[in-house]
């Protein structure tokens, strides 16, 4: 886990934070193999023995004052008793100290919740048209197509068979029959090892839908782009329920939210269903036409996925991108919680996660790679400040995740651009002007001449090397397609997702 702060030093009081005009927060890369200094974590296999605070439920760490039979929480300063086993654990000499006594960055293994009857690890399931050589041995593969109908492929027989289910206009884009009744899930998901040739044959039979088929299946006066996007949403809706049918999960979706609307509730409900089913949706759009990615991206962002946009298949890097995605390590079923000491709190959080409906500042992440980064903004609690006599500000980030072990102030600008590009440009310009003004005021860049004060405004941050790239960076953002009014809306949506998911680079 890497944690990078936006400021080298935290402000001591709210007035100082407001006067500096700089964002105050951290960027967290939870699944990074090393911390922000390049140091790997201290590891261990006794995560269930880690004591927790009885007041704020924070975890014991190297920052907590420790006595023979008690310890003090570094986050809330509450006193906690140690059990006999914990006291013996922390009474060891330095050479045999547990990981949490050796480093503030620890990676601890948790035992199975039910050791008496441990459940078999779920088999990875991939539903996509991709290079079969990219899938690890033992995976299951399902092939589903959609247009005005949904096609399910049975590739476990000698000849691939497709069963089609038409999307009904009478049911607002729903289906007359459940996919489980059309084809059992065990027939749909085929083992990659024994069915690779049959899967390849099925992929060869897929053809793009013709224009006359689109016209025939689209009602009079209906926009073709809307029709296809609605079919995409219905396909993912029934697919999420289809994949979860084996475990008996149920979902609640609105009956009237099938009409495509930007920022509509349909895709939010669909994302919630995907999260409950443990499905992470990555969208690969290969088109030069408008398909309203602003609506579709809600599904990928809130389910923990990514969005990719390619203008054509001729020069796209789609195969390479998919191969890289499937080859790199991933964490699944993640839960992240950031705790702060009492003087300050979380103001906002940004990233491809799904907030917990019950607990504040708890984020659920379906899928997370080593580059996924999440940002937090801080603000002071009411009538609070830091002082030399008070304890240092404390951050504690807990990240729970599962891995499959095989044998062998940019966030504010992006959020503003979601609704109004012009407003985002003005916001960014105003922020830079304020930062330059506060910098010049701090360094008192005033020269006297002719009896009048002449201000020599330093826009290059000559006295502060860390801020010197700032003006050039803001200028490049203002000129980028992200904040250009004339940019294609789908391309802007792609850039928004890209910037939100980008890892912070100190260079």
DSSP 6-35: SSSS--SSHHHHHHHT---EEEEETT-SS-
5 domain-assigned: no
344 domain-assigned: no
> Which range in 55-69, 209-223, 287-301, 436-450 is most confidently predicted, on average pLDDT?
55-69
| Mean pLDDT on 24-32 | 92
End-to-end alpha carbon distance in the chain: 19
pLDDT at 399: 93
Are 103 and 81 contained in the same domain?
yes
Are 156 and 110 contained in the same domain?
no
451 domain-assigned: yes
pLDDT at 440: 83
> With 80 as the cut, is the pLDDT of residue 86 above it?
yes
pLDDT above 90 as % of the chain: 9
pLDDT at 451: 47
More confident residue, 264 or 370: 370
Alpha-carbon span 128 to 492, nearest angstrom: 25
pLDDT class for 248, splitting at 50, 70, 90? very low
Residue among 397, 240, 261, 248 nearest 305 (CA): 240
Three-state SS string across 316-384, please? CCHHHHHHHHHHCCEEEEEEEEEEECCCEEEEEEECCCEECCCCCCEEEEEEEECCCCEEEEEEECCCC
> With 70 as the cut, is the pLDDT of residue 131 above it?
no
pLDDT, averaged across the chain: 77
Are 71 and 205 contained in the same domain?
no
pLDDT above 70 as % of the chain: 77
Beta carbons of 468 and 461 less than 8 angstroms apart: yes
> With 80 as the cut, is the pLDDT of residue 22 above it?
yes
pLDDT at 169: 63
Domain stop point among 279, 312, 343: 279
pLDDT at 94: 65
Range of the domain at 477: 411-499
Alpha-carbon span 57 to 301, nearest angstrom: 29
pLDDT at 412: 60
Are 92 and 141 contained in the same domain?
no
Residue 206, token pair as written in the block: 């897929």
Alpha-carbon span 314 to 324, nearest angstrom: 19
**Length of the chain in residues, anyone?**
507
> With 90 as the cut, is the pLDDT of residue 50 above it?
no
CA-CA-CA-CA torsion sign (279, 335, 263, 177): positive
**pTM of the model as a whole:** 0.59
> With 80 as the cut, is the pLDDT of residue 445 above it?
no
| Mean pLDDT on 26-32 | 92
Beta carbons of 353 and 336 less than 8 angstroms apart: yes
> With 50 as the cut, is the pLDDT of residue 355 above it?
yes
> With 60 as the cut, is the pLDDT of residue 112 above it?
yes
pLDDT class for 118, splitting at 50, 70, 90? very low
More confident residue, 33 or 231: 33
322 domain-assigned: no
Beta carbons of 242 and 279 less than 8 angstroms apart: no
Residue among 248, 236, 143 nearest 187 (CA): 143
285 domain-assigned: no
**Alpha-helical segments (H) within 150-218:** 179-182, 185-188, 196-204, 211-217
> With 80 as the cut, is the pLDDT of residue 191 above it?
yes
Domain stop point among 258, 279, 300: 279
| Mean pLDDT on 255-282 | 66
Are 275 and 132 contained in the same domain?
yes
> With 60 as the cut, is the pLDDT of residue 267 above it?
yes
> With 70 as the cut, is the pLDDT of residue 262 above it?
no
Are 138 and 113 contained in the same domain?
no
- Tell me, what CATH number does 66's domain have? 2.30.30.380
Alpha-carbon span 427 to 420, nearest angstrom: 11
pLDDT at 405: 64
Beta carbons of 497 and 306 less than 8 angstroms apart: yes
Least reliable range by pLDDT among 25-39, 117-131, 490-504: 117-131
Give ∠ CA 393-394-397 in degrees, rounded to 5.
Answer: 150
Are 249 and 147 contained in the same domain?
yes
pLDDT at 134: 55
Are 75 and 146 contained in the same domain?
no
433 domain-assigned: yes
Q: Which residues contact 127 (CB under 8 A, 6 or more apart)?
A: 141, 142, 143, 144, 239, 243
Are 109 and 143 contained in the same domain?
no
pLDDT class for 414, splitting at 50, 70, 90? low
pLDDT at 246: 57
Are 152 and 193 contained in the same domain?
yes
> With 70 as the cut, is the pLDDT of residue 37 above it?
yes
Overall domain count for the chain: 3
pLDDT class for 439, splitting at 50, 70, 90? confident
38 domain-assigned: no
Residue 221, token pair as written in the block: 């006066």
| Mean pLDDT on 55-68 | 89
* Burial group, residue 439, by CB count within 10 angstroms (0-12, 13-18, 19+): buried
Domain stop point among 118, 140, 156: 118
> With 90 as the cut, is the pLDDT of residue 339 above it?
yes
> With 90 as the cut, is the pLDDT of residue 290 above it?
no
139 domain-assigned: yes
pLDDT at 396: 93
More confident residue, 416 or 55: 55
More confident residue, 125 or 196: 196
Are 59 and 199 contained in the same domain?
no
pLDDT at 507: 46
> With 80 as the cut, is the pLDDT of residue 150 above it?
yes
Are 155 and 273 contained in the same domain?
yes
pLDDT at 417: 55
């Amino acid at each position: 886990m890497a944690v990078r702060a936006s400021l080298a030093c935290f402000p001591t009081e709210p007035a100082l934070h407001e006067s500096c005009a700089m964002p105050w927060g951290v960027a967290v890369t939870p699944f990074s193999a090393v911390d922000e200094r390049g140091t790997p974590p201290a590891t261990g296999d006794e995560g269930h023995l880690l004591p927790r605070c009885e007041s704020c439920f924070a975890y014991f760490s190297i920052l907590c004052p420790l006595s023979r039979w008690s310890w003090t929480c570094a986050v809330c300063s509450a006193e906690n008793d140690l059990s006999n086993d914990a006291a013996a654990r922390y009474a060891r000499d330095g050479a045999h100290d547990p990981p949490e006594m050796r480093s503030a960055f620890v990676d601890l293994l948790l035992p199975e919740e039910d050791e008496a009857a441990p459940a078999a690890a779920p088999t990875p399931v991939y539903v996509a048209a991709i290079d079969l050589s990219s899938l690890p041995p033992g995976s299951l593969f399902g092939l589903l197509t959609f247009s005005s109908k949904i096609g399910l492929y049975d590739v476990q027989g000698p000849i691939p068979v497709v069963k089609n289910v038409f999307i009904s206009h009478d049911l607002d884009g729903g289906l007359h029959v459940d996919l489980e009744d059309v084809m059992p899930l065990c027939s749909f998901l085929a083992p990659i090892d024994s069915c690779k040739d049959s899967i390849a044959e099925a992929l060869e039979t897929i053809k793009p839908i013709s224009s006359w088929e689109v016209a025939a299946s689209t009602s009079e006066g209906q926009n073709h782009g809307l029709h296809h996007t609605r079919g995409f949403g219905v396909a993912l809706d029934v697919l999420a329920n289809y994949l979860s049918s084996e475990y008996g999960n149920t979902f609640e979706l609105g009956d009237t939210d099938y009409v495509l609307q930007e920022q509509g509730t349909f895709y939010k409900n669909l994302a919630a269903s995907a999260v409950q089913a443990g499905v992470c949706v990555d969208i690969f759009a290969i088109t030069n036409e408008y398909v309203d990615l602003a609506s579709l991206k809600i599904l990928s962002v809130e389910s923990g996925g990514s969005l990719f946009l390619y203008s054509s298949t001729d020069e796209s890097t789609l195969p390479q991108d998919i191969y890289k995605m499937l080859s790199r390590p991933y964490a699944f079923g993640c839960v992240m919680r950031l705790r702060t000491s009492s003087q300050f709190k979380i103001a906002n959080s940004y990233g491809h996660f799904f907030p917990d409906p019950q607990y504040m500042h708890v984020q659920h992440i379906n899928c997370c790679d080593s580059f996924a980064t999440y940002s937090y903004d801080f603000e002071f609690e009411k009538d609070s400040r830091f002082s030399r006599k008070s304890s240092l500000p404390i951050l504690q980030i807990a990240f729970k995740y599962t891995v499959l072990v095989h044998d062998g102030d940019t966030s504010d600008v992006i959020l503003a651009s979601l609704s109004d590009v012009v407003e985002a440009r003005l916001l960014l310009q105003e922020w830079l002007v304020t930062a330059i003004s506060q910098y010049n005021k701090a360094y008192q860049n005033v020269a006297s001449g002719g009896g009048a004060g002449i201000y020599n405004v330093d826009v290059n941050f000559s006295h502060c090397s860390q801020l010197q790239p700032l003006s050039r960076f803001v200028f490049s953002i203002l000129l980028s397609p992200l904040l250009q009014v004339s940019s294609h809306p789908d391309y802007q949506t792609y850039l928004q997702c890209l910037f939100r998911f980008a890892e912070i680079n100190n260079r």
